[in-house]
Structure 1
Amino acid sequence: MKKLIVLIFAVMVLTACGGGESKEEQDELKKVSVVLDWTPNTNHTGLYVAKAKGYFKDKGLEVEILKPGEAGADQLVASGKAEFGVGYQEGVTQARVKDVPIVSIAAVIQHNTSGFASPKEKGITSPTDFEGKKYGGWGSPVEKAVMGSIMNQQDADVEKVNFVNIGDTDFFTAVKRDVDFAWIFYGWTGIEAELRGEELNMLYVKDYSEKLDYYTPVLTTNEKMIENDPDTVQAFLAAASKGYELAIDQPEEAAQILLDAEPDLDKELVMKSQKWLAPRYQDDADRWGEQKLEVWENYADWMYENQLLDKKLESKKAFTNDFLPK
């Protein structure tokens, strides 16, 4: 009987020390959510890595990655319905001048990788070629302002462009059926074109003005989180940073983690996109996620000059580097 009691005790000890989390350990994790800006893609890989590798858990967090619904990520984060989100500098800028309490806490990609793309056979090789063509967009005034500003540099007239709202229509479908060119992120749609064997002419907006080399996308939170729960913000970014660093150093492993989490994604596209983005996440910054005041000021000034803002942005309130790992 005594031996049996000792054996039972030993088993209990081993079970307590063995694999899996106890209910108490699970309860100790702080539950937070991060809302994506779009369907899952390689802009988001670092978040999936941080979740799969246990980086969030190591920082005391249980993070749910949410896909955006009718309410966008910025709206959910600003209202406090989600603690974190993926957004864009342009959206944060527009929100801040309307006193919406959203704050950018990290740049996912250091330089703007977006631009106007068209099939090579369309013959659009410079902004002057936009005249007389159909542009497929999503109906934002920013689109016309950006296009107009780079066309003006070459004495071209944006009023001669036919703007068509294509909504969520796939780029490849749209340029075959409805329009001549559209605004894309090369790291996803451009890479997909390469895999399809479809040659594109790509005009990156940052190549026409340093003011258009803004942060897109960014990670966001709200002012209440920063004020009331800075430790959670710091923990979230510490884990996310580690996730993006792995995506930089080991893009194939990171891509596979994204694919494991989102098996409906195209494997070849994810792998090639991940390799393309890996050196661009941090690029020339001292650390992943770093944001510069001049980048925020330059773009906000450009938006104000183009009558996209009702008043000037207080740039220092729009972003912070305070929660990035030192």
Structure 2
Amino acid sequence: MKKTWKKTAAWLTAAAMTMGMGMTALAEDAAESELKEVTVILDYVPNTNHTGMYVALDKGYYEEEGLDVEIIEPTDGATATLIAQQKGTFGIAYQEDVTIALTAEDPLPVKAIATIIQHNTSGFVTLADSGIESPADFEGKTYAGWGGPGESAVLEACMTQAGADFSKLNMVISDGSGFEALGKSCDIMWFFEAWDSIMAEMNGCELNYMACRDLDERLDYYTPIIITSDAVIESDPEMVSAFLRATEKGYQDTIADPDGAAEILSSHAPNYDLEMLKLSQEYLADKFMEDTDTWGVMKDEVWDNYSAFLQEYGIIDEVLPADQCYTNEFLPQ
């Protein structure tokens, strides 16, 4: 009798444990199935501009907001176009891209919802011993760039304001070799301080740096920014807010611990030198929220100024009201 009771008790215990484990697994599966799938399309390969999102991903901030986030590199086309086609939920782009997309003959239904960095951290570079120290010295020199629509406008403006003749600048497409091309195939390049300049310095390449924002205040535009489509905003505004809440947490953590954040990025982009990532992240820690207490916030004047600049140099035909280009309504309060 006792043996029978013990066997029955053991069986019941095992059954209960099995059922419990099964229920736990079912609950976990249900929780995962309830997460909304979100795809973020980057503007380029993963880099320190994007780290806050990888921090939010690794620390579970997106999952806490009910989101299953995947971060991918762009494939067939510009990120703004892919987002407009709803091939991704959110994208990383630039103010220039959005402005041009919205003023095109067939405007793309996209909108900026946050800026990642408050000020433009890019500018022109030359070798320190080149004697090319300002756009006034660009005549007769070779500039290597990426062929963007606003690129020639920026160069023309900066040279003209410095009293130089833009028509005397030779423009070529960069071969992708970065700072190593300076003094060889080109004299001038456009670098981002947090990435290209740091990489050059780590390799002993001394540069002259001419910040765009110092050459013309209208060039202090937002780059990079987070965008989404009008369709996503209309169909699920709470999801947009949830995404930015989690993303903001990731960037706050990145600001507080840039070295730790760099290590997280390194786990997603292992081909980069970790020391370079740390130096870049330390530089950006002061830039993500420079001159503001609110991560991601944008201002009308920045959009208006750059739109007016693009119109002046014939890149766009009309200046759209800033509120048609961006919104702050989904940022954490």
TM range (shorter): over 0.9
Between 200-209 and 14-23, report the one with greater CA deviation: 14-23
Q: Which amino acid aligns with 1:251?
A: P
**Where does 1:13-24 land on structure 2 (aligned, <5 Å)?**
15=21, 22-24=28-30
Q: 1:281 aligns with which of 282, 288, 296?
A: 288
Q: Matched residues in 1 for 2:158 and 2:27: separation?
A: 56
Q: 1:79 aligns with which of 82, 85, 101?
A: 85
Q: 2:164 aligns with which of 145, 156, 162?
A: 156
RMSD of aligned C-alpha atoms? 1.8
- In structure 2, what is the equivalent of residue 306 of structure 1? 313
SS in structure 1 of the partner of residue 226 of structure 2: strand
Do the aligned residues in 2 keep the contact of 1:144 with 1:158 (CA within 8 Å)? no
SS in structure 1 of the partner of residue 108 of structure 2: coil
Q: 1:230 aligns with which of 219, 230, 237?
A: 237
SS in structure 1 of the partner of residue 250 of structure 2: helix
Q: Matched residues in 1 for 2:28 and 2:324: separation?
A: 41
Q: Matched residues in 2 for 1:197 and 1:222: separation?
A: 43
Q: TM-score, normalised by structure 1?
A: 0.95
- Is 1:205–2:182 an aligned residue pair? no
- Quick one: percent identity of the two aligned structures? 43
- In structure 2, what is the equivalent of residue 58 of structure 1? 64
- In structure 1, what is the equivalent of residue 50 of structure 2? 44
**1:50-71 deviations in whole A, cap 9, x for unaligned?**
1111011000000110111131
> Alpha carbons of 1:120 and 1:61: their partners in 2 closer, same or farther (altered >3 Å)?
same
Do the aligned residues in 1 keep the contact of 2:155 with 2:166 (CA within 8 Å)? yes
- In structure 2, what is the equivalent of residue 33 of structure 1? 39
Q: Which of 1 and 2 has greater Rg?
A: 2
**1:215-235 deviations in whole A, cap 9, x for unaligned?**
000011011111111111111
Listed as ranges, the gaps of 5+ residues in structure 2 are 1-6
> Alpha carbons of 1:141 and 1:77: their partners in 2 closer, same or farther (altered >3 Å)?
closer
Listed as ranges, the gaps of 5+ residues in structure 1 are none
> Alpha carbons of 1:19 and 1:277: their partners in 2 closer, same or farther (altered >3 Å)?
farther
Do the aligned residues in 2 keep the contact of 1:246 with 1:254 (CA within 8 Å)? yes
Q: 2:128 aligns with which of 120, 124, 131?
A: 120
**1:73-109 deviations in whole A, cap 9, x for unaligned?**
1111111111100000000000011221111111000
- Is 1:147–2:155 an aligned residue pair? yes
Q: Which amino acid aligns with 1:161?
A: L
Q: Which amino acid aligns with 2:219?
A: L
Q: Matched residues in 1 for 2:27 and 2:72: separation?
A: 23
Q: Matched residues in 2 for 1:156 and 1:319: separation?
A: 35
Q: Which amino acid aligns with 1:264?
A: N
Between 37-46 and 259-268, report the one with greater CA deviation: 259-268
Q: TM-score, normalised by structure 2?
A: 0.93
Q: How many residue pairs get matched? A: 325
Do the aligned residues in 1 keep the contact of 2:121 with 2:211 (CA within 8 Å)? yes
SS in structure 2 of the partner of residue 239 of structure 1: helix
Q: Matched residues in 2 for 1:320 and 1:245: separation?
A: 21
